[in-house]
Amino acid sequence: MTATTARGGDLWSGPVPRRTSPTLRTARTLVTWFAQIAVWYWAFVVLVVVAAPLGMRAFGVDPSLSILWFARQSAVWFPFSVLIGMALAYPQVHVANGMTRRSYAAGALAATTGVALAFALLMSLAMQVERIWYEAVGWGWGTEEQGWFEPGTGFGDLLVAYVATFLVAYLSGLLVGTVYAGAGGWWGTLTLPLTVGPIILVTAIIDSRTGWLPFPDVPPAVLLAAVTLVLAVALGAAFWLLATRRAIAPRRG
């Protein structure tokens, strides 16, 4: 009997550790990085949402509008801009660590989708909590049809609307940053109608007052889901093609 066996059995008898795939590792890295930014974002949102109505009451004014309703735009454009920066800067770090462009593209798409779903869920839940708070203290809660969604809508409708908007917006941010990085400033700017236009399209569909929709007999949720699916696939495919073929200069220093 060898000394190794006496101390605890054969060296190969234990379970072999499973290696995390590069795609999963990339997605986890990006989500962890984005979560640190998101914590500060949501802390600021909560601070404003709580402080604004209390400040109004201090001046004898009863709040009648959802503060989160106005914060919705920040949840579109702030992550959008952060993801542009990520698409510009992160691939060099990724490749310098010996990983492929494919694992970056797949991991970035997975992380972006996860962030969009998380933001949509948090925003929908936060609006319901805000409405409960307002109603409990006798304040009015509404949106005054600010061109985003029908006032008084329920959690399910809000969640669908936010998932559609955030998913398309965040994938658009990835694509915008990738086009600027790979094709330069001129092409990045000239293609903005194609790369940012999907956000405007989804917002227009969600706007209940829009009368130009081509299929008025189709339920809005079905139309929104179909358009979102097509746009998300198109944005993701365009990002994949550009990101996996992008020339990345060696990282220096």
Q: Give 44-62 pLDDT, tens digit per residue.
A: 999 998 898 888 888 878 7
> Residues 162-172: what's their mean pLDDT?
96
Q: Give 91-103 pLDDT, tens digit per residue.
A: 999 988 888 999 9
45: alpha, beta or left? (left if phi > 0; alpha if psi -120 to 50): alpha
> Residues 131-150: what's their mean pLDDT?
72
The pLDDT of residue 36 is above 80: yes
The pLDDT of residue 11 is above 50: no
In sequence order, which residues have a C-beta less than 8 Å from that of residue 25 and are 6 or more positions away?
A: 99, 103, 107
User: 3-state DSSP call for residue 62?
Assistant: coil
What rounded mean pLDDT belongs to the chain? Answer: 85
230: alpha, beta or left? (left if phi > 0; alpha if psi -120 to 50): alpha
The reported pLDDT for the residue numbered 17 is: 56
Tokens of 121: 């869920």
Name which of 242, 113, 227 is nearest 170 in CA terms.
113
What one-letter code names the amino acid at 104? Y
The reported pLDDT for the residue numbered 220 is: 74
Work out the end-to-end distance of the chain between its first and last CA atoms, rounded to an integer number of angstroms. Answer: 53
Tokens of 22: 């590069």
